[in-house]
Amino acid sequence: MARLRLALLGIGLALLACACGPAGRSAQAPAKPVAPDGARARRPAAATDANQLQVPAAWQSRIPVIAPPATAATLRQADGALARGQLEQGNGPGPGALELYLAVLAIAPDDANAQRGVRSTLEALLERGRLAMRGGDLAAALRIDGIAAAVLPAHPDLAAYRSYLAAAGLAAAEVERANAAGRRLRLLQAEDSVASHLQLAERAVPDFQPAIAARARWNGQLLARAWAAAGREDFRAADGMLLQSQALAPGDASARVLGIRVVELRQARTDAVLAEGNAAVDALDLDRADRVAVHAAAISAQPARVQDLRERIHLARHYGPFKPRQVFSERLAIGGVGPEMVVVAYGSFTMGVDPDAGDPDAQANESPAHMVAFKRGFAIGRSEVTVGEFGRFVEATGYRSQATIAGHSSVYDERGGVFSEHEGVDWRRDHVGRIASPSLPVVHVAAEDARAYTAWLSAQAHARYRLPSEAEFEYVLRAGTRTRYPWGDEAPRHVVGNLPGDGDLSRSSRRWGNAIAGYRDAFWGPAPVRNFPLERFGTYDMTGNVSEWTQDCWHDSYQRAPADGSAWVNPGCPQRVVRGASWASALEQARSASRLQVDANSSGARLGFRVAREL
pLDDT at residue 6 above 60? no
Q: Where are the alpha helices (H) located in 112-252, listed in sequence order?
A: 112-135, 138-151, 158-183, 194-204, 209-231, 235-248
By CB atoms closer than 10 A (0-12, 13-18, 19+), residue 215 is buried
Beta pairing partners, 378: 344, 614
Q: Is 9 helix (H, G, I), strand (E, B) or coil?
A: helix
Give the whole-angstrom CA distance, residue 470 versus residue 570.
14
Q: Is 386 helix (H, G, I), strand (E, B) or coil?
A: strand
Number of domains forming the structure of the chain: 3
**Residue 537 shares a structural domain with residue 469:** yes
Give the whole-angstrom CA distance, residue 565 versus residue 579.
15
pLDDT at residue 35 above 60? no
Q: Are 296 and 315 in contact (CB under 8 A)?
A: no
Alpha carbons within 13 angstroms on the beta-carbon side of residue 169 total 22
**Residue 526 shares a structural domain with residue 594:** yes
The mean pLDDT of 334-346, rounded to a whole number, is 97
Give domain status of residue 518, yes or no.
yes
**Higher pLDDT among residues 395 and 318, named by residue:** 395
**Residue 451 shares a structural domain with residue 598:** yes
Last residue of a domain, one of 119, 135, 156: 156
For residue 12, what pLDDT is reported? 36
What residues contact residue 8 under an 8 Å CB cut-off, 6+ apart? 138, 142, 165, 166, 168, 169, 170
Q: What's at 298, amino acid-wise?
A: A
Give the whole-angstrom CA distance, residue 57 versus residue 67.
19
For residue 94, what pLDDT is reported? 81
Q: What's the CATH code of the domain at 525? A: 3.90.1580.10
Give the whole-angstrom CA distance, residue 498 versus residue 523.
7
Give domain status of residue 280, yes or no.
yes
The mean pLDDT of 168-193, rounded to a whole number, is 94
Give domain status of residue 272, yes or no.
yes
pLDDT at residue 21 above 70? no
Question: How many residues in total does the chain contain?
Answer: 615
Give the whole-angstrom CA distance, residue 295 versus residue 290.
9
Give the whole-angstrom CA distance, residue 77 versus residue 73.
6
Candidates 455, 437, 333; CA nearest to 388 is 437
**Residue 101 shares a structural domain with residue 235:** no
**Residue 253 shares a structural domain with residue 119:** no
Q: Are 64 and 41 in contact (CB under 8 A)?
A: no
Give domain status of residue 106, yes or no.
yes
- Confidence class for position 14, pLDDT limits 50, 70, 90: very low
* pTM (2 d.p.): 0.54
Q: How does 274-303 read in b/e, with b if 16+ C-beta sit within 10 Å? A: bebbeebeeeeeeeebeebbebbeeebbee
For residue 267, what pLDDT is reported? 79
For residue 453, what pLDDT is reported? 98
**Residue 136 shares a structural domain with residue 230:** no
Give domain status of residue 367, yes or no.
no
**Residue 137 shares a structural domain with residue 218:** no
Give the whole-angstrom CA distance, residue 574 versus residue 557.
17
**Higher pLDDT among residues 476 and 154, named by residue:** 476
Listed range (41-45, 188-192, 285-289, 518-522) with the worst mean pLDDT: 41-45
pLDDT tens for each residue of 277-331: 566 666 666 666 666 566 667 777 656 644 554 575 677 778 888 999 999 999 9
Last residue of a domain, one of 114, 134, 156: 156
For residue 283, what pLDDT is reported? 65
**Residue 238 shares a structural domain with residue 135:** no
Last residue of a domain, one of 115, 137, 156: 156
- Confidence class for position 84, pLDDT limits 50, 70, 90: very high
For residue 30, what pLDDT is reported? 33
For residue 615, what pLDDT is reported? 94
What residues contact residue 291 under an 8 Å CB cut-off, 6+ apart? none
**Residue 483 shares a structural domain with residue 593:** yes
DSSP secondary structure letter of residue 428: T
Give the whole-angstrom CA distance, residue 327 versus residue 329.
7
**How are the residues of the chain apportioned to helix, strand and coil, as percentages rounded to the nearest 5?**
45, 10, 45
Beta pairing partners, 373: 348
For residue 269, what pLDDT is reported? 85
Listed range (270-279, 338-347, 484-493) with the worst mean pLDDT: 270-279
Q: Give residue 79's domain range.
A: 31-156
Q: Are 113 and 75 in contact (CB under 8 A)?
A: yes
What residues contact residue 312 under an 8 Å CB cut-off, 6+ apart? 259, 260, 263
Q: Are 359 and 371 in contact (CB under 8 A)?
A: no
pLDDT at residue 22 above 70? no
**Residue 117 shares a structural domain with residue 220:** no
Give domain status of residue 184, yes or no.
no
- Confidence class for position 40, pLDDT limits 50, 70, 90: very low
**Higher pLDDT among residues 18 and 538, named by residue:** 538
Give domain status of residue 352, yes or no.
no
**Residue 151 shares a structural domain with residue 44:** yes
**Higher pLDDT among residues 305 and 69, named by residue:** 69
Give the whole-angstrom CA distance, residue 589 versus residue 567.
21
Which value, in Å, is the radius of gyration of the alpha carbons in the chain? 30
pLDDT tens for each residue of 554-585: 999 999 999 999 999 998 899 999 999 999 99
By CB atoms closer than 10 A (0-12, 13-18, 19+), residue 124 is middle
Query: For the chain, first and last CA: distance in Å?
Result: 42
Listed range (128-142, 249-263, 269-283, 320-334) with the worst mean pLDDT: 269-283
Give domain status of residue 68, yes or no.
yes
The mean pLDDT of 348-377, rounded to a whole number, is 93
For residue 280, what pLDDT is reported? 63
The mean pLDDT of 603-608, rounded to a whole number, is 97
**Residue 147 shares a structural domain with residue 214:** no
Candidates 157, 93, 109; CA nearest to 101 is 109
Q: pLDDT above 90 covers what percent of the chain?
A: 71
For residue 275, what pLDDT is reported? 64
Establish whether the linkage from the previous residue to 368 is cis, with ω within 30° of 0: yes
